[in-house]
Chain A
Amino acid sequence: MGAGRSRADIVFKALVLVFASSIVALTLAFFYELTTGSSYTLGEGFAFITSSTWGGSIGNFFGVLPAVYGSLVTSAIALLIGVPISLGVAIFLSELSPGHLRSPVSFVVELLAAVPSVVYGLWGIFIMVPFLTHNIYPLFRTYLGFLPIFQGYPTGQLPGASILDGGVVLAIMIIPIVSSISRDALQAVPDSQREAAYALGATRTEAIRISVLSYARSGILASIFLGLGRAFGETIAVAMVVGDTQRFSVSLFSPGYTLASLIVTQFTEATGPAYISALVEAGLVLLVVVFLTNIAARYLISRLAKSREAASYL
Chain B
Amino acid sequence: MRSRRFLLDKVLISLVCMSVVIAIVPLASILYYVTIRGLPAMNPGFFTKLPPLPLPGAPGGLGNAIQGTLILVGLAACIGLPFGVLSGIYVSEYGKNFYGLTVRFLGDVLVGNPSIVVGILGFILLFRPFHGDNLYAGVFSLSIIMIPIVSIATAEALNLVPSSIREASAALGIRKWRTSLLVVSNAKSGVATGALLATARVMGEAAPLILTVGWSNFWYAGPTAPVASLTYAIWSFGTSGLQNWVNLAWGAAFFLIVMVIAINLAVRLLTRGRITYA
Q: Count residues of B near A (Cβ-Cβ below 8 Å).
A: 93
Instruction: Mark each residue of chain A from 168 to 193: 1 if its CB lies under 8 Å from any CB of chain B, else 0.
Output: 00001001110111000000000000
**Contacts of B18 on A, CB cut-off 8 Å?**
88
Does B110 lie within 8 Å of A240, measured CB to CB? no
User: A106 vs B103: C-alpha distance in the bound complex, in angstroms?
Assistant: 29
Is A105's beta carbon under 8 Å from chain B? yes
Does B175 lie within 8 Å of A121, measured CB to CB? no
Interface residues of B in 122-141 (CB under 8 A from A): 123-125
| A16 interface neighbour in B5, B87, B214, B261, Cβ under 8 Å | B87
Does A89 lie within 8 Å of B117, measured CB to CB? no
A200 to chain B, nearest CB (A): 12
**Contacts of A120 on B, CB cut-off 8 Å?**
30
Does B23 lie within 8 Å of A85, measured CB to CB? yes
Is A114's beta carbon under 8 Å from chain B? yes
Report, as a range, how many residues of chain A touch the other chain: 35 or more
User: A151 vs B175: C-alpha distance in the bound complex, in angstroms?
Assistant: 71
| B117 interface neighbour in A103, A283, A295, Cβ under 8 Å | A283
A271 to chain B, nearest CB (A): 14
Is B78's beta carbon under 8 Å from chain A? no
Is B260's beta carbon under 8 Å from chain A? yes
**Contacts of A283 on B, CB cut-off 8 Å?**
116-117, 120
User: A35 vs B192: C-alpha distance in the bound complex, in angstroms?
Assistant: 36
A287 to chain B, nearest CB (A): 5
| B121 interface neighbour in A20, A30, A229, Cβ under 8 Å | A30
Is B203's beta carbon under 8 Å from chain A? yes
Binding site for B on A (CB under 8 A): 3-4, 6, 8-9, 11-13, 15-17, 19-24, 26-27, 29-30, 33-34, 37, 84-89, 91-92, 96, 103, 105-123, 125-128, 172, 175-177, 179-181, 203-206, 226, 229-230, 232-236, 240, 260, 263-264, 267-268, 279-280, 283, 286-287, 290-291, 293-295, 297-298
Closest 8 interchain pairs by CB?
A116-B204, A88-B19, A233-B114, A12-B177, A19-B86, A20-B90, A20-B87, A16-B90
